Amino acid sequence: MQTFSIAIHGGAGTLVKGLMTQELEAQYKEALKIARDLGYDILKQGGSALDAVEVSVKSLEDSPLFNAGKGAVFTAEGTHEMDAAIMEGKHLEAGAVSLITGIKNPVTLARDVMEKSYHVFLAGEGAMQFAKGLDYKVENPDYFYDDVRYQQWQGIKDSDTFQLDHSVKKDGKFGTVGAVACDQHGTVAAATSTGGMTNKKWGRVGDSPMIGAGNYANNKTCAVSCTGSGEFFIRGVVAYDVSCLMEHKDMSVEDASNEVIHKRILEINGDGGLIAVDAQGNIAMPFNTEGMYRASKSSNGDEEISIYK
């Protein structure tokens, strides 16, 4: 019987163990468990990988703990600009949005771009018009306000720097989110959602919504969702690179993912990690940072919820 499985992440970065309270760690693990199990239940009932990854990512977007949806970081202008992508591996269909504001679940808007428009990628004002045409509610900025994120931003607001929220050592809040799944039919899907980097400006877009960079799915190979400093993941075309190594070099999902995260992306100093699942349900979750919020569950009985190495 086809193995079905799901993996999710809540961001990779300098997650320093000593700076995390036990209580907060428990909160993160609980949020990961809820998100993972929501997706897994869909797979178990025979549902699609696409539905599973969307449900899991929505759950993470609704949590203030992660840098996506409700917990999105502040831009240089003190706003929240979010990016998301979703892709399924049978027909290579994909949808993505970038620089959107006020949308509670960017991953669902990305799916609507895939299913209800002729396009793959909508950005900014146009993406918002598309959302309004579908009667999306635009949340008040208060919905996205979070004191920890605000303090993160205050720390670098007057500088020219921008930063990966996962690498702020003094607090425990990190996390672009993503999910990959393989369903009972051997179809894979990937979804990724983020608020990007704290203090970003000039319409900066990271890898998360870019098909092939931060998110990719192909039944011939695997589904991948990335997290880390997006600039490097774009230049490394990381998600597609994992797929290419599998397709053209006949590597396993584990070997291909390790090769990209522990070798190829390091060659250009890229920090981060990824989650991947192949069409047989095998999972890989490598990262070259100190930690990555992650969880997985497979019908073969394997399951995991971890933060550090």
What residues make contact with ligand ASP under the rule CB under 6 A?
11, 67, 164, 166, 176, 194, 196-197, 206-208, 214, 227-230, 233
d(CA 263, CA 217): 22
Choose between 3 and 243: whose C-beta lies nearer to ligand ASP: 243
Q: How many residues does the chain have?
A: 309
**With respect to ligand ASP, which residue has the nearer C-beta, 63 or 282?**
63
Active site residue 227: no
In Å, what is the CA distance from 290 to each residue of 151, 167, 286, 308? 23, 10, 11, 6
Give least dist CB 133 to ligand ASP, A: 26
81 token code pair: 């600009």
Catalytic hit among 75, 176, 198, 221 = 176
Nearer to ligand ASP, 122 or 251 (CB): 122
Across-strand partners of 13? Answer: 291
132 token code pair? 């309004």
Minimum CB distance to ligand ASP smaller for 37 or for 207 = 207
Residue 220 Cβ, how far from ligand ASP at the closest point, in Å? 25
CA distance 33 to 40: 10
Instruction: Provide, rounded to whole angstroms, the least separation between the CB of residue 190 and ligand ASP.
Output: 14
Minimum distance, C-beta of residue 158 to ligand ASP, in the bound complex (Å): 22
Q: Which residues contact 83 (CB under 8 A, 6 or more apart)?
A: 96, 97, 98, 99, 100, 106, 193, 194, 196, 205, 206, 208, 209
Where in the sequence numbering do the catalytic residues fall?
A: 176
